[in-house]
Amino acid sequence: MEKYNIEEFTADITVDEYIKQFRDADRFIELCKVCPNFNNSWGCPPFNFDTEDYLRQYRYAHLMVTKITPLETNISIDRTQQFILQERIRIEKQLLEMERATGGRAFAYIGTCLHCPESQCTRKCGEPCRHPDKVRPSLEAFGFDIERTLSELFNIKLLWGKNGVLPEYLVLVSALLHN
């Protein structure tokens, strides 16, 4: 098991304010289109509904950031999943419990879906999702700017790996939208 420290942060904002200040749907759909998960994962765009209308059915956004700081340095970027997988599982379970308790909707880090083996998402063959009760989109998939969210609401800089090495820390940003 990888060794790392965890810090967790939360912020609450109205959905209207979050959309107004941090959403740029046109910009982020273009970024999504170059991702291999675009139209190949049920947690990713394109969606068959209007995402802004979907978001506006909720009044509040409870944003959650998990900052993962590995205890060692100069870690190969290929080991990213080794650091975030356990936290993703924990966070997604927590989000789904919060969703059930509030009647809200969770948004999680999607990347590769945790519920089907890699590259076996049923979306690729035009079939319904096997786990619609578990798969949730990312905030980015709905057009939110995670870098601005981190910097302006949490005072955390989004870092990127360089030269095949992980940055000093990784962050997972998730949310629960609710009334």
Cα distance between residue 126 and residue 136, in whole Å = 18
Q: What is the mean pLDDT of residues 21-43?
A: 93
Amino acid at 156: I
- 88 within 8 A of 115, measured Cβ to Cβ: no
Q: Where are the domains of the chain?
A: 4-178
pLDDT reading at 82 higher than 90 = no
Report residue 83's pLDDT band, with 50, 70 and 90 as the boundaries. Answer: confident
Structure-block tokens of residue 49: 């509904």
Structure-block tokens of residue 142: 């709905």
* pLDDT given for residue 116 in this prediction: 83
* pLDDT given for residue 81 in this prediction: 85
HSE-CB of 125 using CA atoms within 13 angstroms: 7
Cα distance between residue 65 and residue 162, in whole Å = 22
Strand 170-178, strand 60-70: pairing: antiparallel
Supply the pTM of this predicted model: 0.93
